[in-house]
Structure 1
Amino acid sequence: MPTLRWLTRDDDVRAAESVPYRLLEEVPGLGYGDRDAGNMLIQGDNLEALKALLPYYAGQVRCIYIDPPYNTGSAFEHYDDNLEHSQWLAMMWPRLELLRELLAEDGSIWVSIDDREGHYLKVVMDEVFGRRRFVTTITWQQRTTRENRKVFSEDCERVLLYCKDTEKFGASRNDLPLSDEVRARYSNPDNDPRGPWQSVSLNAQGGHGTKDQFYEFVAPSGKVHQLPNGRCWLYTWPVMQEKIADNRVWFGTSGQNAPRQKKFLSEAKAGLTPNTLWLASDAGTNDEAKKETVKLFGEAVFDTPKPERLLQRILHIATNPGDLVLDSFLGSGTTAAVAQKMGRRYIGIEMGDHAVTHCAPRLQKVVDGEQGGISKAQNWQGGGGFRFYRLGPPVFTEDGQIQPDIRFPVLAAHIWFSETGSPWTQPQPLTPFLGAQGGKGYALLYNGILGDKSASGGNVLTRKTLAAIRAAMGDFTGPLTVYGERTALSDATLKAEQIEFKQTPYDVKARK
């Protein structure tokens, strides 16, 4: 397969490996609404944030949408969109690698881009995801007005679509709902009790038919119908007779017209196969998005924001209610807002200060039931909530050891949320047993929680430390997940004790 070469490629394709694992530390005062909703807003460098999410969400994200800087040569207020070409590629490669690892088996990633870097991005994504995982390129009509100040009026952007597994994505993706335009094609001029219908041709190209599909016949009105040159009937004569008897062939109100087949709305496919040309009338425009952001913030936050209707269409195709959506270039927060209104869970990552000044306030308004964008179409009345995080310190030292200043409660809260999706209430006094939820218990042996920091002591799962965990479990007797430095118990003992052991803090820390 062809590969793309640039100045720093050899270093860039290994960059994700060297990114440190960091903790995500909650900032309670910036969260809002129902903290148990499973939604996360993260402020920080998205490369480090993605690495921090990997141990907890690898293989869990159903849909990723990103709108990275386009490298247009313009200077945006919130992004440096004037990166030199090789720097842009260096930025994208490691992020795409981590995003790939976060995708579920039936998941998909959608990337907005224009033609300046779009073709290079296609080659990079072919390498990172594999050419067989390429689904299509969507052309989105981003504007309906003409730009007379340019050589060509640039009216469209692209959305590159890749998936983790082509067959699984194809089987799980959703059709688009029937539009009013499509429904308007159906009527019922003969008052058929089966309801509205539309007529379609009853003949096809002659080269596709058998000899039994070439014939003339007499209609109930007595008129003889012959085939047009080079055509054949869709059905053999016996099948055609059955269709006529069942009132599924339409000869017009006079009964003299050429025969056409009746297709009933009640029997039609529930939706439409998504196409690759998304018109502004269906998916909105940049101008529509600017008006949405002005209404929300009193200003246009970005030069080319994406409208809620574009994200609505993507999430409708790619996800179902309850699925997890990720946007690591969150911008003004559109993806998270749309996910919330559509009943999806979300993780949004934004580096700049406007994670606090724009994203969080926007999502607060969504929780409170704001009625802009797709709210009316989704019958959005408010609800839900999110937790706000910032990147904490690296978990490991350069030689792979856990940082000595990582505190037990910080790591415990993070592990609890990753396992249960709910906040951890710190007990007093602290014990290695974090609690139980959904019939499963969770424990952490870390930072001398049992008062023993020796190499073979309190951070290692032994029969002694297991007894201490059991003592703190109270009445709970179900299966147990234990995080620790290592385990001294055999596989047979772990199985007998219903224990799943995970290396503290990440059993995926050796993943590349």
Structure 2
Amino acid sequence: MPTLHWIGKEKVINHHLEVPYKILEHQYSFNSATDNEPKETTGLLKAGSSGAIIHGDNLEALKALLPEYEGRIKCIYIDPPYNTGNEGWVYNDNVNDPKIRKWLGDVVGKENDDLTRHDKWLCMMYPRLKLLHKLLADDGAIFISIDEFEHDYLHLITDEIFGRNNRIQTFIWKKTYGGGAKSKHAVNLHEYVLFYAKDISKIETLELPPDDSILKYYKFKDEKFEERGPYRLQPLATNSMDERPNLRYPIIYNGEEIWPDKQWQWSKDRAYKSLENNELSIEKNEKSGKWTINYKQYLKNEEGEARGRKIYSIIEDYYTQHGTNELTSIFGEKTFNFPKPTNLIRTFIELATTQDSIILDSFAGSGTTAHAVLNLNKQDGGNRQFILVEMEDYAESITAERVRRVMKGYGEGKKATEGTGGRFDYYTLGQPLFLEPEVLNEAVPLEKIREYVWYSETRMSYEPQPAKSEENEHFLGLHNETAYYFYYFKDRLTTLDDRFLRTLRTNAGQYIIYADNCLLDKKLMQKHQIVFKKIPRDITQF
């Protein structure tokens, strides 16, 4: 498969492994019903929460999400900087942003001076896409908005990271319905949205719920209406020229044999069964004497699920102007340039999620993704949750404030929009876990260190153990017949010895025990399948 090379690639291709792991610090909870919530500290997405907003660099924030959410995100939507060089945007759409320039200088070094704008953009995007790939569920999907400036480059690096065979579609989004008077050569009316699966073999048929363009055809009712809804009539005969002798047979009705001009769409058994179940409509033209057979296509299948509709590769009817007007109606003034329309992102979420999915947007901007999730949940009664990450200072004043207003409702009089309800939690990036490669930061809460160690060993989410006792105080958990212990105190050294072994009550095939020192005999350790790991030297930095 062709790959893309650029200045600095060798420095960033594995940079996601070097990003410092920082804890997420809970700042506050917002509940649309009460305004104030007691501060909670366990788990990013609280029970009953609609989502979370993280203020901080998205590269570090994505790394911080790994222990709890690797492989759990069902849908990712991102709208990264397009790298147009347009310095007028609120979200600086040029990777010469001071924060990005500092990161490029630290990571790429002197080569940073020689980087073109495209090289800088690719250096910024690549490690972020690597972490997003890790967070995505095996049956998950990612949507990435982009325009023509970086479209070709983005396709090549997403092919490399997600796999060319996992590319589902490149949508063409018609973003505006007019304009272009100042265009010199051609009027640009579209952008792109790249659509990839984590593993396309695990993606089932993708369909959207039926809308008015489909529902208008389902206008007939019969005795199955309560279970299967209305139906439309579709021809049972087909004009196909395929040689299918098994599809040519008579249907007996009122003592007459009805033959197709060419052949039927269905097998004989299926057609006869449908006739018995009153699922065929048969009429005779009195003038020509010719019979017509239609089958009843019900809106719902036998399980009561509504017939879906396919999404087209060209997306219309959702325009940038809609996104701007929507945001202006929320804030009462223009606060953000070119926000995506909520219905565009809602369409992607509706296509790729179930009602209890987690949706991530690591370039959150004005918070449109959260707005889309909340609207969709209100529409279909779902419990989807969002995670937003925004690095800019407006994370609180625009991103979080928009979510607050959407939950509580906004506008006045005839323009008032009812709130969706809900609650979210707001976080910032806190202390790094390691001050130096082998120096633990003792300012980090012990439970966060335990969570990190468990994840580094198992790649599983950490669930705190029950109330601690002498027997389980240092027990992390059991995974694949291996018991994990983290024997650690911040104010004194720990030693793995016979006395500590006598406190173990877990039956396991192997024991991995972290401590500061070990005095156990090697033969004893081999006999009982004990692996000693020294703190902090042997704590894996992922």
* Pairwise TM-score range, normalised by the shorter structure: 0.7 to 0.9
User: Which secondary structure state, in structure 1, belongs to the residue aligned with residue 396 of structure 2?
Assistant: helix
State the shift of 1:296 in Å.
1.9
Letter in 2 for 1:272: G
1:348 deviates by: 1.1
- Distance change >3 Å, CA 253–CA 262, structure 1 → 2: farther
Alpha-carbon distance between aligned partners in 1 of 2:403 and 2:59, rounded to the nearest angstrom:
23
SS of the residue 1:49 aligns to: helix
Residue of structure 2 in register with 1:49 after alignment: 61
With normalisation by structure 2, the TM-score equals 0.72
> CA shift at 1:276, angstroms?
3.0
Deviation at 1:316, TM superposition (A): 1.8
Tell whether 2:223 aligns with 1:193: yes
Q: Choose from 84, 109, 112 the match for 2:145.
A: 112
SS of residue matched to 1:259:
strand
Q: Residue 165 of structure 1 aligns with which residue?
A: 199
Q: Matched residues in 2 for 1:506 and 1:264: separation?
A: 66
TM superposition shift of 1:72: 2.1
Q: Rate the CA distance shift 1:463–1:404 in 2: closer, same or farther, 3 A.
A: farther
Query: Aligned ranges for residues 290-369 of structure 1 at < 5 Å?
Result: 290-341=324-375, 342=377, 343-369=383-409
In the other structure, the counterpart of 2:110 is none
Question: Which amino acid counterpart does residue 141 of structure 1 have in structure 2?
Answer: K
Task: Quote how far apart the aligned CAs of 1:510 are.
Answer: 4.0
- 89-98 vs 343-352, which moves further: 343-352
CA contact (8 A) 1:367 1:385 kept: no
What is the CA deviation profile of residues 126-185 of structure 1, one whole-angstrom value per residue up to 9, with x for unaligned ones? 1011112212222223222343332333333222111222122x23x7631111221211
Alignment of 1:109-188 (within 5 A): 109-150=142-183, 151-168=185-202, 170-171=203-204, 175-188=207-220
Amino acid at match of 1:109: I
Q: Which of 423, 445, 465 is the matching residue for 1:384?
A: 423
Pair 1:208 & 2:242 matched: yes
What do residues 388-434 of structure 1 show as CA deviations (whole Å, max 9, x unaligned)? 22222322244x2134453436846987997459xx99x9xxx9679
In the superposition, relative to structure 1, how do residues 405 and 175 fare at CA in structure 2: closer, same or farther (>3 Å)? same
**Cα distance in structure 2, aligned partners of 1:217 and 1:29:** 66
- Distance (whole Å) between structure 1 residues aligned to residue 526 and residue 234 of structure 2: 65
2:358 and 2:384 in contact (8 A); partners too: yes
Change (3 A) 1:23 1:506: farther
- Is the CA contact 1:213–1:233 (under 8 Å) kept in the aligned structure 2? yes
Q: What amino acid maps onto 1:13 in structure 2?
A: I
Distance in structure 2 (CA, Å) of the matches to 1:78 and 1:238: 64
Q: How large is the Cα RMSD of the aligned pairs?
A: 4.5
Looking at structure 2, the residues matched to 411 and 508 of structure 1 have their Cα atoms a distance apart, in angstroms, of 13
Pick aligned residue for 1:452 from 485, 492, 496: 492
Q: CA deviation at 1:29?
A: 7.8
In the alignment, is the contact (CA less than 8 A) between 1:369 and 1:383 conserved in 2? no
CA distance in 2, matches of 1:322, 1:503: 40
Cα distance in 2 for partners of 1:252, 1:503 equals 86
Q: Give 1:357 shift.
A: 1.1
Q: Helix, strand or coil for the counterpart of 1:346?
A: strand
Asked if the contact 1:136–1:276 (Cα under 8 Å) also holds between the matched residues in 2, the reply is no
CA distance, structure 2, for counterparts of residue 326 and residue 236 of structure 1: 46
Alpha-carbon distance in 1 for matches of 2:269, 2:25 = 72
Q: C-alpha distance in 2, partners of 1:142/1:508?
A: 49
| Structure 2 residue matching 1:122: 3-state secondary structure | helix
User: Does the 8 Å CA contact 1:67/1:113 hold for their aligned counterparts?
Assistant: yes
Distance 2:233 2:30 in 1: 57
Identical-pair percentage: 30
1:100 aligned residue: 133
Seen in structure 2, the aligned counterparts of structure 1 residues 292 and 382 have a Cα distance that, compared at 3 Å, is same
Give the aligned partner of residue 16 of structure 1. Answer: 16
Q: Which shifted more, 59-68 or 317-326?
A: 317-326
Q: Does 1:270 align with 2:306?
A: yes
Matched, 1:72 2:84: yes
d(CA) in 2 for partners of 1:5, 1:465: 53
Task: State the 1:327 CA deviation.
Answer: 0.9
Deviations 1:297-340 (A, max 9, x none): 23333322112212222222222233222111010112123334
**Partner AA of 2:128 in structure 1:** R
- Paired with 1:293 and 1:157, the residues of 2 have a C-alpha distance of 20
Unaligned runs of 5+ in 1: 437-441, 471-476
Deviates more, 1:193-202 or 1:120-129: 193-202
Q: How many pairs were matched up?
A: 469
Letter in 2 for 1:234: Q
Q: Is the 8 A contact 1:219 1:225 kept in 2?
A: no
Structure 2 partner of 1:248: 280
**Which of residues 40, 57, 68 in structure 1 aligns to 2:52?**
40
Displacement of 1:238 after TM fit? 8.2
What is the deviation of 1:3?
Answer: 0.7
Q: Is the 8 A contact 2:433 2:444 kept in 1?
A: no
Q: Secondary structure at the match of 1:140?
A: strand
SS in 2 for 1:209: coil
Shift of 1:98: 0.7
Contact 1:367 1:383 in 2 (8 A): yes
The amino acid across from 1:108 in the alignment is: A
- 5+ unaligned residues in a row in structure 2: which ranges? 41-45, 96-116, 378-382, 456-460, 478-483
CA contact (8 A) 2:330 2:410 kept: no
Counterpart amino acid of residue 277 in structure 1: S
Cα distance in 2, alignment partners of residues 41 and 238 from structure 1: 56
Q: d(CA) in 1 for partners of 2:140 and 2:538?
A: 23
Determine if contact 1:325/1:344 at 8 Å carries over to the other structure.
yes
Read off the aligned partner of 1:211 and give its amino acid letter.
Answer: P
d(CA) in 2 for partners of 1:178, 1:507? 55
How far is the alpha carbon of 1:371 from its aligned partner?
8.3
Q: Distance in 1 between matches of 2:419 and 2:355?
A: 14
Deviations 1:175-209 (A, max 9, x none): 31111221211223xx6434543222333344323
* Cα gap change, 1:339 to 1:242, in 2 (>3 Å): closer
Q: What amino acid is aligned across from residue 83 of structure 2 in structure 1?
A: N
Which is worse superposed, 83-92 or 203-212? Answer: 203-212
Question: Residue 232 of structure 1: which of 249, 263, 281 is its match?
Answer: 263
- Paired residue for 1:393, among 417, 431, 434? 431
What pairs up with 1:409-488 in 2 under 5 angstroms?
A: 411=448, 419=462, 445-446=487-488, 448-449=489-490, 451-453=491-493, 457=494
Cα deviation, residue 248, structure 1 = 0.8
Alignment deviations for residues 368-404 of structure 1 (CA, whole Å, 9 cap, x no partner)? 35589xxx99x96413321x22222322244x21344
CA distance in 2, matches of 1:319, 1:330: 19
Amino acid aligned to 1:179? D
* One-letter amino acid of the structure 1 residue matched with residue 308 of structure 2: L
Distance 1:506 1:22 in 2: 18
For 1:115 and 1:257, how far apart are their aligned partners in 2? 56
Report if the CA contact (8 A) 2:438-2:537 is conserved. Answer: no
- Distance in 1, matches of 2:24 and 2:532, equals 22
Question: For residue 208 of structure 2, what is the amino acid of its counterpart?
Answer: L
